[in-house]
Structure 1
Amino acid sequence: MSLAKVPHENAGSASGLPNIVTHLGIALDTALTALVFFSPTGGPPDGAINRDAFTGGPST
């Protein structure tokens, strides 16, 4: 992304745009990854099945 054509008075705001886009992409990617990972279980929306799968290990 080139900021060469951005007016001088808007340079500060425009310089933050790549960081905003990057952070929004990371947040969206994390949300979609979680959705894809947890959707096949078919459990309730509160994630009880998934929580039990990760916390219900053998006792020592």
Structure 2
Amino acid sequence: MLLKIILVFLLGMVLIGMVGKALFPGALTGAMRRKGLKPPVCGRCGRYVIGKTCACKKG
């Protein structure tokens, strides 16, 4: 019984994936292309900037 439940769940996930790929074919490639953007880096110390200012400028 548990095996049937697992198989139905996996088949449902495959079906959802196929429908999603048919409706939004370029969604994943667009997200992967946007990964090329680089996060902001502090020019003074080289660390990543979280928020508006770097931690080296606070103290």
**TM-score, structure 1 normalization:** 0.42
**TM-score, structure 2 normalization:** 0.43
Which structure has the higher relative contact order (CA within 8 Å, separation 6+)? 1
Tell which structure's C-alpha radius of gyration is larger.
2
